[in-house]
Amino acid sequence: MQDRLLSCRRVIIDEHIALTAQVLIASLQLESFDVYMIAECLRLLEDSEVRVRLAVGTTLEALARKHGVSVFLQCRERVLHSIFSNFVSAGGRLE
């Protein structure tokens, strides 16, 4: 029961962190914060915790809404490599 409660708290905390990042990205005009967030997203892109990866996607979406295609151009190589390598390791086939 204790583990389950801790897990539920972690989900709530992770969701709040992602929401907080979205609000900060949208409202702050600090280029250095956005650059830092992109670097952190790329660092956490293949985190073992699925909720962290979801927060990464949400944060990258907020950054892309603010900065447009430049965010995609900065991240595409790492994101596409991650998708490809996870697809292949999961037994997918490219034809």
Per residue in 5-53, pLDDT tens? 444 445 445 666 677 777 778 777 878 888 988 998 999 888 888 888 8
Residues 48, 51, 55: CA angle, nearest 5 degrees? 110
Q: Where are the alpha helices (DSSP H) in 28-67?
A: 31-43, 50-67
Helix crossing, 31-43 with 2-27: angle to 10°?
140
pLDDT: is 28 or 80 the higher one? 80
Residue from 83, 42, 82 nearest 63 by CA? 42
Q: What does the pLDDT read at residue 6? A: 45
Contact indicator for 31, 69 with CB cutoff of 8 Å: no
pLDDT: is 80 or 3 the higher one? 80
Residue 61 CA to residue 48 CA, distance in Å, equals 20
- One-letter amino acid of 88: V
Q: In this model, does residue 78 exceed pLDDT 90?
A: yes
Helix crossing, 31-43 with 69-89: angle to 10°?
10
Whether this prediction's pTM lies above 0.85 is answered by no
Map tokens 């892109």 to a residue.
45
Q: What does the pLDDT read at residue 74? A: 94
